[in-house]
C-alpha cells in the first residue's frame, strides 16, 4: 500500500468519521461541538492514565499474540503492519487519527445510542476481529474486546480524552513493537 493511500485513510478517519457524531448529536440532541469534544479536559491527569492504560494493555496483547495458536493465521496483524513499511511519523500520525476519529465516532456518537456493550462489540467486529469463519482471528477479537469494552465504560467517568489517549497509545505501541521488531 502506498504512503499516499495510508495517509488518505488516516485523514478520512480523523476528519470524516466524526462528522456523523457532530451532525446527529448536534441536530437531534442539541449538543454543541465543544460539548462533544471536551477540549477543556485534554490535559487532565485522566489523559495520562489513558496513555498508561493503552500501553499496558498493548503489551499484554502483544504477549498473547506470541502464542502458538496465532502462528497458523495467514493474515496475521504483524504481517499487515510490517507490509505498510511505516516510519515513526507514520505510526504516530495513524495512531492519532484512529484514536481521535474512531473515538469521536464510536464512544461519543454510536455509544450514545447503543451503550458500551453493543458499541464495543460493533467496534471490534468492524475491524474484522470477530470472524465466524476463522476462530483464530476471532481469538484476537477476544483479546482486544475487553480493552474496547473497558474504554467504553471509562468514557462515562474519565471522558473522551482518556479514551483517545488509551486508543492512541495502544495502537502506537503495537505499531512500534511490530513495525520495528527484528525479522527472525
State how many domains the chain has.
1
Spatial distance between the Cα atoms of 176 and 157, rounded to a whole number of angstroms: 29
- Does residue 169 sit within a domain? yes
Q: What is the pTM of this model?
A: 0.94
How far is residue 162 from each of residues 19, 54, 58, measured CA to CA in Å? 21, 10, 15
Domain residue limits at 9: 3-179
Backbone φ and ψ for 174, nearest 5 degrees, come out as -60, -50
One digit per residue, the tens of pLDDT, for the chain of length 184 reads: 788 999 999 999 999 999 999 999 999 999 999 999 999 999 999 999 999 999 999 999 999 988 888 777 666 677 778 888 899 999 999 999 999 999 999 999 999 999 999 999 999 999 999 988 888 788 989 999 999 999 999 999 999 999 999 999 999 999 999 988 765 5
- Does residue 115 sit within a domain? yes
- Does residue 184 sit within a domain? no
- Does residue 124 sit within a domain? yes
Task: Collect all residues with Cβ–Cβ distance below 8 Å to 134 and sequence separation of at least 6.
Answer: 73
Amino acid at each position: 500500500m502506498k504512503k499516499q493511500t495510508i495517509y488518505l485513510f488516516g485523514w478520512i478517519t480523523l476528519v470524516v468519521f466524526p462528522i456523523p457524531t457532530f451532525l446527529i448529536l448536534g441536530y437531534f440532541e442539541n449538543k454543541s461541538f465543544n460539548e462533544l469534544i471536551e477540549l477543556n479536559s485534554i490535559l487532565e491527569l485522566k489523559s495520562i492514565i489513558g496513555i498508561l492504560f493503552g500501553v499496558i494493555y498493548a503489551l499484554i496483547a502483544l504477549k498473547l499474540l506470541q502464542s502458538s495458536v496465532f502462528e497458523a493465521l495467514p493474515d496475521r496483524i504483524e504481517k499487515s503492519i510490517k507490509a505498510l513499511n511505516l516510519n515513526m511519523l507514520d505510526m504516530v500520525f495513524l495512531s492519532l487519527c484512529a484514536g481521535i476519529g474512531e473515538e469521536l465516532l464510536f464512544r461519543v456518537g454510536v455509544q450514545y445510542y447503543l451503550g458500551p456493550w453493543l458499541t464495543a462489540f460493533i467496534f471490534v467486529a468492524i475491524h474484522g476481529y470477530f470472524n465466524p469463519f476463522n476462530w483464530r482471528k476471532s481469538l484476537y477479537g477476544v483479546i482486544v474486546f475487553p480493552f474496547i469494552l473497558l474504554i467504553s465504560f471509562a468514557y462515562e467517568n474519565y471522558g473522551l480524552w482518556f479514551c483517545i489517549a488509551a486508543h492512541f497509545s495502544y495502537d502506537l505501541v503495537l505499531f512500534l513493537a511490530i513495525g520495528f521488531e527484528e525479522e527472525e
